[in-house]
Amino acid sequence: MKGNLCERIVKLDPQIRFVGIVNSKGKVVEGGYQEGVEPLLDGQDEQIMYMHSLSNMALLHDLSDKLGNVKYSLIEHQKVVLVTFPLNSDILCLSISSGADVQKIKNTIMAIISSTDKTANHNQEQ
């Protein structure tokens, strides 16, 4: 399911700073920064951010029987918008420059994830 997902997403908009799939241990297993973009956080702070995103998704997942399934989580800072999508046991993390059309980017990514899930389910049934 994951093959080239991050590459497809980072090409959607130059305002996307980072796209990465983070596993359940907080390790980025796919993805990276948009060409020419410098990270705003150092390695340790970035790792802490991923762990918080994982924890947040786990908490939201625990409430899904009452609230429904989590579609995404969005946190807006002055400099960037962080968007996290659940991907089975992993999460898809994005950092988008403030001022970008975040709703358009988010909706496009949700459509990509949905179509990828349908393709993966179809292939498993065959």
The reported pLDDT for the residue numbered 105 is: 96
Q: Which residues of the chain have pLDDT under 50?
A: 1-2, 120-126
- Alpha-carbon span 86 to 67, nearest angstrom: 15
Residue 8: the pLDDT is: 93
- What integer pLDDT is reported at residue 17 of this predicted model? 96
pLDDT of residue 89: 87
Answer whether 15's CB lies under 8 Å from 105's CB. yes
Two tokens, residue 58? 């786990």
Provide Rg for the chain, Cα atoms: 14
pLDDT of residue 126: 46
Q: What pLDDT sits at residue 124?
A: 45
Specify whether the CB–CB gap between 85 and 92 falls below 8 A: yes
Q: Number of folded domains in the chain?
A: 1
* pLDDT at position 1: 37
Residue 33 exposure: Cα atoms within 13 Å on the Cβ side: 9
Name the residue range of residue 20's domain: 5-125
